[in-house]
Structure 1
Amino acid sequence: MRASLRQTIIETCKAKIASKGETVGVSFYAFFKNKNDDPDLLMEAATWWIATQKLDHFEKAVKIRDMVMQGQ
C-alpha cells in the first residue's frame, strides 16, 4: 500500500477516535471523499481491506490504525 494511503488511513482513524471514542467503527470508504476521483487508490484500499486482510465491512478504527502503523 502506498505511503500516502497509509498516512490518510492513520490520520482518519485518529480523527474519528478523537471525536467519537475508542469504539468507533470505520469502513474503507471512510478514507475517501463521496466522489470517486481516484479509482486506483480506492481499489488499492479495497483490495487491502477485503482480499488481503479479510476484514468485515466495519472494523474498529483503533484496530485499523494499529494494523497500518505496524505495516500490515
Structure 2
Amino acid sequence: MTAELKAKIIHVCNTKIAQKGENVGLSFYAFFANKNDNPKVLMEAATWWIQTHQLDHFEKAVKIRDLVR
C-alpha cells in the first residue's frame, strides 16, 4: 500500500472517530469520493481490505487505523 493511501486512511479514520466515537464503523469506500476517479487506488484499497485481511464490509475505524499503522 502506498504511503499516500495509508495517510489518507489514517486521516479518514481519525476524523470519523473524532466525530462519532471509537465504535464508528466504515467500509473501504469511505476513503473515496462517490465517483470512481482513481480505479487503481480503489483496487489497491479493496485488495488490502478484502484479500489481504479478509475484513467484513464494515469494520471499526479504530481497527482499520491500527492495521494500517
Q: TM-score, normalised by structure 2?
A: 0.99
- 2:51 matched residue in structure 1: 51
Any idea what SS the aligned residue of 1:67 has? helix
Distance 2:35 2:58 in 1: 20
How many residues get paired? 69
1:41 matches 2:41:
yes
- 1:24 matched residue in structure 2: 24
1:66 matches 2:63:
no
| Ranges in structure 1 where 5+ consecutive residues have no aligned partner | none
CA shift digits 1:51-70 (9 cap, x unpaired):
0000000000000001101x
- 1:2 matched residue in structure 2: 2
Distance 2:7 2:32 in 1: 13
How far apart are 1:4 and its partner, in Å? Answer: 0.3
One-letter amino acid of the structure 2 residue matched with residue 61 of structure 1:
A
One-letter amino acid of the structure 1 residue matched with residue 52 of structure 2:
T
Distance 1:46 1:22 in 2: 23
